């Protein structure tokens, strides 16, 4: 039996004032993540700390350097083709000016409005915890 691929990723819950940044993935051959919303971030590379991976990914994807605060929630999720371990961090941004290099759309939403978007499944536990978090 083939061993399933597990990827370790980091994600940023970027806050500016009372809003949180949500980004939309592009089209993907994996329909279950195609065009879904997610928290920005990406894969942790060998030898990187979680924070340094997150800082690098946010620089690459959004061209920003937010203030990474603390680990919020680690989610383990099984998609049809791979398993994911996602470490999410609360981050503060001084501005809402971002430059999307990989995503097709972005919105800044209040916490109570996050559920109005079509999210990637692995991000949903983070949204559920944010709803109860002050």
Write out pLDDT tens, residues 82-97.
Answer: 999 999 999 999 999 9
- 103 is a domain residue: yes
Q: Which residue's entry shows tokens 């039996």?
A: 1
Of residues 1 and 85, which shows the higher confidence score? 85
Question: What's 67's domain CATH number?
Answer: 3.90.79.10
Give per-residue pLDDT as tens, 37-49: 999 999 999 999 9
Asked whether residue 1 is assigned to any structural domain, the reply reads no
**pLDDT band, residue 59 (cuts 50/70/90):** very high
Report angle CA 60, 65, 69 to the nearest 5 degrees. 120
Instruction: Measure the CA–CA gap between 44 and 49, rounded to whole angstroms.
Output: 8
Please say if the pLDDT value at position 101 is more than 90: yes
Flag whether 60 is in a domain.
yes
Range of 121's domain? 6-131
What is the number of structural domains in the chain? Answer: 1
* 31 inside domain: yes
DSSP 37-58: EE-SEEEPPTT--HHHHHHHHH
On average, the pLDDT of the chain sits at 95
Q: Taking 90 as the threshold, does the pLDDT of residue 1 lie above it?
A: no
């Amino acid at each position: 039996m083939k061993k399933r691929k597990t990827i370790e990723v980091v994600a940023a819950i970027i806050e500016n004032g009372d809003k949180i940044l949500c980004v939309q993935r592009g089209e993907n051959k994996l329909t279950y993540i195609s065009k879904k919303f997610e928290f920005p971030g990406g894969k942790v590379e060998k030898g990187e700390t979680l924070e340094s991976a997150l800082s690098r990914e946010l620089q690459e994807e959004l061209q920003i350097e937010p203030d990474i605060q603390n680990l919020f929630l680690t989610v383990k999720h099984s998609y049809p083709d791979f398993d994911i371990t996602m470490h999410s961090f609360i981050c503060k941004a001084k501005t809402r000016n971002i430059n999307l290099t990989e995503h097709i759309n972005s919105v800044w939403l209040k916490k109570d409005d996050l559920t109005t978007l079509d999210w990637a499944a692995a991000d949903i536990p983070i949204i559920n915890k944010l709803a109860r978090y002050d």
